[in-house]
Amino acid sequence: MIRTMRLEDLEQVEALEQQCFSDPWTLDSLRYELEGNPFSTPYVFIDDQDQTMIGYAHLWITFEQAQLANIAIAPQYRKQNKGSILLKHLIEIACAQECETMTLEVRKSNQAAIALYEKFGFSPINVVKRYYSDGEDAILMGIGF
CA atoms of 124 and 105, how far apart (whole Å): 10
105 in catalytic set: yes
- 119, amino acid identity: K
| pLDDT at position 23 over 90 | no
Q: Which of 11, 92, 117, 136 is catalytic?
A: 117
pLDDT score of 115 more than 90: yes
Average pLDDT, the chain: 96
Enter the pTM of the model: 0.94
CA dihedral sign of residues 124, 106, 39, 81: positive
**pLDDT (tens digit, 9 = 90+) per residue, 53-82?**
999 999 999 999 999 999 999 999 999 999
Q: What is the pLDDT of residue 58?
A: 97
Distance CA 92, CA 20 (A): 24
100 assigned to active site: no
Report CA-CA distances (Å) from 88 to 20, 35, 121: 20, 24, 11
Chain-centroid distance, C-alpha 102: 12
- pLDDT tens per residue across span 10-19: 999 999 999 9
DSSP codes, 102-114:
EEEEEETT-HHHH
Check if the beta carbon of residue 55 is closer than 8 Å to that of residue 86. Answer: yes
At 122 the pLDDT is 98
Among candidate residues 14, 17, 33, 105, the one labeled active-site is: 105
